[in-house]
Amino acid sequence: MASANLLFFVLMLSSVRVGRSSESLFKLKCQPAVGVIGQTTHISCSIELYTKPKPVVINTVTLTRSGEKKPCFAFQPFENIQTGDSRFGVENRPSLQLHNTTISDEGEYRYYIRTNLGQDDVQFTINVTAKYSNPIITSVQKEIVNDGAADLYCSANGGYPAGTIHWFDQSNTNWTKSATLQSTQGNDGLFTLSSNLSFQKIDSLWAPFRCVVLNNRYEEEGGTTSTLEIKDNRDNPPSSSSTVNNSIAGVVVIGSLIIGLLIVLLFKRRRNQQLRRASAIPILSAVPMEQTYPEEEKGLNEPVYKKAAEAEEIFTV
């Protein structure tokens, strides 16, 4: 116990510095880390030498959370003495690792090392995430009827940080602006998302609906498509604009076919009339005029024929 207190006192003295030591021949660099709850988080750090490459021997490392004075982790490789949070460790010196990451580990840290070439420190952040469960779609109504009211719910849980839910119909139209999102954080720090998409009159042509879960970086983490059936309303058949447009389109097509057929028939009729006229002209010109012979004229002028003609005229009168 006394040795641990002495180590802590030595570390505190070595951590208190103003500016960079003039003896430091290197620069310590660390990348921001992103950890997943329940998994190991790797914190990548490196040493950049100001002089020719030399072996670097690390004597002491300390890790302190921002706003705190006492280090949350300290390690002396030569003595193999480690104090503080046992989940932290040094790997591939000077990089660090954090086992069994939790939400409480999120924040900013100051990392200090002392070596045979001097000492330096750097700040880095740890962000923690947790993936949401695959969303589930439910409905308040036991039976959804076309052109009737409908309330669709999409829920997902176990995620961190708070995300969002988007809605899409079968044509990939985004309905999120018409939905209401509720985000609840549990005692374990994880979030549950629930989105409600309500319709006063739902159209079966919009189905099926799909809800997508997005994390805080708007990256898709999961999605599901509804299997809810929207039944036709027998008392009030669907009268959507698309149905009306389809009906109008059908009428236009049928009307166009009828007009086209009439034009064809009229054209054929005119053509037949022209053919008949053209064929009648040579027939009439080919018929010879009735020829009267001289003997027939002489016979008609005989007294007998004249008397018969006169008698017929008198009889007629």
Give the residue-averaged pLDDT of 264-287: 63
Domain ranges across the chain: 2-128, 136-231
For residues 174 and 165, the answer to whether their CB atoms sit within 8 Å is no
Q: Which CATH number fits domain 136-231: 2.40.37.10, 2.60.40.10, 1.20.58.2050, 3.40.50.300?
A: 2.60.40.10
Confidence of residue 52 (pLDDT cuts 50, 70, 90): confident
pLDDT the model gives residue 13: 43
| Pairwise CA distance, residues 37 & 106, whole Å | 10
Q: Are 94 and 58 in contact (CB under 8 A)?
A: yes
Q: How many CB atoms are closer than 10 A to CB 10?
A: 13
* Higher pLDDT among residues 299 and 118, named by residue: 118
Tokens of 64: 């302190």
Read off the pLDDT band of 297 (50, 70, 90). Answer: low
Q: CB neighbours of 133 closer than 8 A, spacing ≥ 6?
A: 156, 157, 158, 159, 222
Distance CA(236)–CA(239), nearest Å, equals 8
Per residue in 188-197, pLDDT tens?
999 999 999 9
Contact 163, 211 (CB under 8 A): no
Enclosing H/E stretch for 27: strand 26-30
- Contact yes or no for 274/266 (Cβ under 8 A): no
Using alpha carbons only, what angle is made at residue 116 by residues 115 and 122, rounded to the nearest 5 degrees?
25
pLDDT at 305: 46
Q: CA–CA separation, 32 vs 124, rounded Å?
A: 5
Assigned CATH for 2-128: 2.60.40.10
pLDDT of residue 260: 77
The winner for highest mean pLDDT among 180-184, 203-207, 251-255, 276-280 is 180-184
Reference 215, options 289, 287, 164; nearest CA is 164
Model pLDDT for residues 300-313, shown as the tens digit of each residue: 555 544 544 454 44
**What's the whole-number mean pLDDT along residues 117-136?**
96
Using 50, 70 and 90 to split pLDDT, how confident is the model at 292? low
Pairing state of beta strands 41-43 and 33-36? unpaired
What is the C-alpha to C-alpha distance for residues 156 and 135, in angstroms, rounded to an integer?
A: 5
Question: What is the predicted pLDDT for the residue at 255?
Answer: 74
2-128 shares its CATH topology with 136-231: yes
User: Which structure tokens are listed for 112?
Assistant: 């200090």
When pLDDT is cut at 50, 70 and 90, the band that residue 314 belongs to is very low
* Residue (of 147, 139, 140) closest to 200 by Cα position: 147
**Residue 229 has which token pair?**
């059936």
pTM (two decimals): 0.63
Burial class (CB in 10 A: 0-12, 13-18, 19+), 239: exposed
Q: Are 139 and 229 in contact (CB under 8 A)?
A: no
Q: Put residue 42 in one of left, alpha, beta given phi > 0 → left and psi -120 to 50 → alpha.
A: beta
For the chain, what percent of residues have pLDDT higher than 70? 72
Check residue 17 and give its pLDDT.
43
Output 40 or 243, whichever has higher pLDDT. 40
The pLDDT of residue 6 is 41
Phi then psi for residue 146, to 5 deg, are -60, 140
Band of pLDDT at residue 29, cut at 50, 70 and 90: very high
Encode pLDDT of 60-94 as tens digits: 999 999 999 999 999 998 888 999 999 999 988 89
Say yes or no to pLDDT of 182 above 80.
yes
Band of the pLDDT at 27, cuts 50, 70, 90? very high
